[in-house]
Amino acid sequence: MQSTPPASRASITGKAGEPPIIEIHDLHKSFGMVEVLKGVSLTAREGEVVVLIGSSGSGKSTLLRCINMLEVPDQGTVKVAGEEIALAGRPPHRHVADERQIRRIRSGLGMVFQSFNLWSHMSIIDNVMEAPLHVQKREKGEVRGEALAMLDKVGILDKADVYPAELSGGQQQRAAIARALCINPKVMLFDEPTSALDPELEVEVLRVIKLLADEGRTMILVTHDMNFARTVADRAIFLHLGRIEEEGTVDEVFGATRSTRLKQFLSAADHE
């Protein structure tokens, strides 16, 4: 697959003057006595790919899960396409205030996890069609056509009628990506999508994600692969101990690093 030069990536991202499609302000989250997020704010504009990097325990996955309220933040706000997610109560009992709103917002957020989370008793095509049919209440014929197109996009159309156990890990993760795409999401969220894969299977999945980036899809991606982050991202955010230690363009974060801690992190990653 031919890579898109950095200059052309910039041309499809972040329409100036438009509000961010994801806007997070002053997010805090604790688990018991451990404060995992300590006032994180970030934005992502339409067509932009934002990568979250940092050591294990830095808060990357928690931040990502707060966007669709799989984890409810103790403090702060999350807006999706300009709409603030309504929350109520106080920590540790803060909760989503409007279930209909969060179901609607989640229907525009495609989430791909570390584990594939496919229904083992359902064929791949049925896995991909599940949310559009039963959450979005769309017409079956239309959904099936889109599902097959998404499986073709990720390179496993020939696996449509088999079951997850019959696929390799890389194929299962590509099926999970197709499932997320089939809801026509405004934003794709990836939480370490290759961490459970062997290196040769990891390449399959990274190729698909790069394809989506080159199409101009809005994505927020947690990854441990620094080479891939450099290739796919418009902006990079380095989290350290629950705070944003450094952020900027890929050239700024990887090529003109200011933070001593980030320099140490990148040096260690280069030697893995």
Domain endpoint, select from 184, 202, 223: 184
Does 223 lie in the same domain as 89?
A: yes
Q: Put the strands of the sheet holding 34-44 in their side by side order.
A: 34-44, 22-31, 75-80, 83-84
Give domain status of residue 114, yes or no. Answer: no
d(CA 161, CA 132): 18
Does 151 lie in the same domain as 83?
A: no
Give domain status of residue 113, yes or no. Answer: no
Does 209 lie in the same domain as 159?
A: no
Number of domains in the chain: 2
Give domain status of residue 208, yes or no. Answer: yes
When pLDDT is cut at 50, 70 and 90, the band that residue 11 belongs to is: very low
Packing angle of the helix pair 169-181, 124-134 (nearest 10 deg):
20
Tens of pLDDT, residue by residue over 42-101, are 999 999 999 999 999 999 999 999 999 999 999 999 999 999 999 999 998 999 999 999
Cα diameter, the chain = 55
- CATH number where 71 lies: 3.40.50.300
What residues make up the domain containing 164? 122-184
Domain endpoint, select from 184, 208, 224: 184
Of the listed ranges 197-201, 224-228, 253-257, 263-267, the least confidently predicted one is 197-201
117 Ramachandran zone, left/alpha/beta (phi>0; psi -120 to 50): left
Assigned token pair, 213: 């980036």
Would you say how long the chain is, in residues? 272
Of the listed ranges 79-88, 193-202, 242-251, the least confidently predicted one is 193-202
Peptide bond connecting 92 to the previous residue in cis, omega within 30 degrees of 0: yes
Which residues of 54-156 form beta strands (DSSP E)? Answer: 75-80, 83-84, 87-88, 95-96, 109-112
Rounded mean pLDDT, 117-135: 94
What pTM, to 2 d.p., does this model score? 0.90
Does 149 lie in the same domain as 45?
A: no
Rounded to the nearest integer, the mean pLDDT of the chain is 91
What integer pLDDT is reported at residue 58 of this predicted model?
Answer: 95
What integer pLDDT is reported at residue 250 of this predicted model?
Answer: 94
Does 190 lie in the same domain as 83?
A: yes
